[in-house]
Amino acid sequence: MKFPTCLALFLLPCTLAAPALHPHTVPPLPDGMPNPDAEQLQQIQHRAHGSLPNSPLPSTISDKGITNLQLIAFNELFEVAFFNELLLNVTLNIPGYMILNKIDRAFAIETLTAILAQEEVHALTANNALKHFNKDPIEPCNYTFPVSTFQDAIALAATFTDVVLGTLQDVIVRFAANKDVELMRVIAATIGNEGEQQGWFRLLQDKIPSESPTLTTTDVNFAFTAVQNFILPGTCPNIKNINLKTFPGLHIVTTPGARTQKILVSFSVKDHNVPGELWLTYINQLNVPVVVPLEVVEVGKEDVVVAKALWPYDEHLLNGLTIAVVTGSGGPFGDVNAVEQATLFGPGLIILN
Ligand SMILES: *[C@@H]1O[C@H](CO)[C@@H](O)[C@H](O)[C@H]1NC(C)=O
Ligand SMILES: *[C@@H]1O[C@H](CO)[C@@H](O)[C@H](O)[C@H]1NC(C)=O
């Protein structure tokens, strides 16, 4: 779908936009992303309330360090596309995105404008670092978002931001393990910014702003898989440069509550060899992964397996983000990276409270 001219020019008469006029994100954006010129970059930094870090980068980096930067760019470009579209939807009063209270609407637009520009700075920081190390910057894809209301968009933003907040922990650990120490500080600074955004997303859902004392960690391979849910297949120019795994998906069928219960999950085993015994492994906060047996309930059309497992909320206080994956081993697993090694399907994302 093409941008209607009025959108590209930010003209106001578009407020009466019919659904057919809804903004569909294809790069480059009107503000020049992903390759803003000097003037456009100044505007982005102005809207972001801050600049691209200009502290000098080290002269060398590990291969794993390059993968970290590529994943960050890949993820941030997806976020840029999302917040660009969300801001347009609110600004243009697209049905489902009308915020009736004038003060709330102005505040939402002001906030989303800053968040979009901050994500742009994050993406540019990672891509500039790749260029510094003589690697190709990551190029944006075409995206699609499974939401059509403001509330659903905010819930989705909270979900992927929770994943980012866990992923950047893993990035810091990988930088440290590969002696890329000079690159760690900017990640810590970015985690704080994403956490501030998350406080607002949570408040908008009538949740208290701070989620848990230590936020759920994850593995870069899970994040790489999760972002691909929002990509139109075949539209990422250089995703192949990113040396990470993509797992077949896991769908959480039963949304669990704040109590111990059985939940259903599903996954397609088409074209996959699956062992006879399976487990569902949960990663929550900074705790040792929790493993429970997975009981197959039925195998349906297209080899979709529906399976049942315990959600042991009461014993483990599984608040905030939980990452669920199907593993071919019952562990025990020392940490999230050990779980990743044994993962067959996932990640499924659960956020409670
Ligand atoms: C993806 O976006 C580009 C513009 O950047 C467009 O030319 C192309 O048709 C889009 N592809 C799909 C599959 O939507
Ligand atoms: C913007 O609105 C359109 C039309 O409802 C919708 O298809 C799209 O997913 C929305 N995007 C976001 C990020 O909310």
* Fold that domain 11-241 belongs to in CATH: Ferritin (1.20.1260)
Token match 């006879």: residue? 276
Looking at residue 10, what is its pLDDT?
Answer: 35
26 lines ligand 1 (CB under 6 A): yes
* Fold that domain 251-352 belongs to in CATH: Immunoglobulin-like (2.60.40)
Tell me which residue has its CA closest to atom 14 in ligand 1. Answer: 142
Query: Alpha-carbon distance 208 to 65, whole Å?
Result: 35
Looking at residue 16, what is its pLDDT?
Answer: 35
> Is 264:311 a contact under the CB 8 Å cutoff?
no
Residues of the chain with pLDDT under 70: 1-26
Tell me 275's DSSP state. Answer: -
Domain coordinates in residue numbering, the chain: 11-241, 251-352
Q: How many angstroms does the Cα of residue 86 sit away from the middle of ligand 2?
A: 7
Short-list 87, 234, 66, CA closest to 136: 66
Q: Which two tokens stand for residue 144?
A: 């699609």
> Is 177:63 a contact under the CB 8 Å cutoff?
no
Q: How many angstroms does the Cα of residue 76 sit away from the middle of ligand 1?
A: 19
Short-list 13, 36, 14, CA closest to 23: 14
193 lines ligand 1 (CB under 6 A): no
Looking at residue 14, what is its pLDDT?
Answer: 36
Looking at residue 25, what is its pLDDT?
Answer: 61
> Is 308:278 a contact under the CB 8 Å cutoff?
no
Q: Which ligand has an atom closest to residue 235 CA?
A: 1
Q: For 150-168, how does the pLDDT look when each residue is reduced to its tens digit (9 = 90+)?
A: 999 999 999 999 999 999 9
Is residue 1 helix, strand or coil?
Answer: coil
Looking at residue 28, what is its pLDDT?
Answer: 83
Alpha helices by DSSP H, listed for 146-204, are: 150-177, 184-204
Looking at residue 198, what is its pLDDT?
Answer: 98
Tell me which residue has its CA closest to atom 7 in ligand 2. Answer: 148
Among left, alpha and beta (phi > 0; psi -120 to 50; other), residue 95 is: beta
62 lines ligand 1 (CB under 6 A): no
Query: Alpha-carbon distance 6 to 210, whole Å?
Result: 39
Short-list 274, 348, 271, CA closest to 309: 348
Q: How many angstroms does the Cα of residue 98 sit away from the middle of ligand 1?
A: 28
Query: Alpha-carbon distance 264 to 134, whole Å?
Result: 47
Looking at residue 273, what is its pLDDT?
Answer: 87
Q: Which two tokens stand for residue 87?
A: 């801001």
Using the atom order of ligand 2, give the atom closest to the CA of residue 147: 9
Tell me which residue has its CA closest to atom 9 in ligand 1. Answer: 1
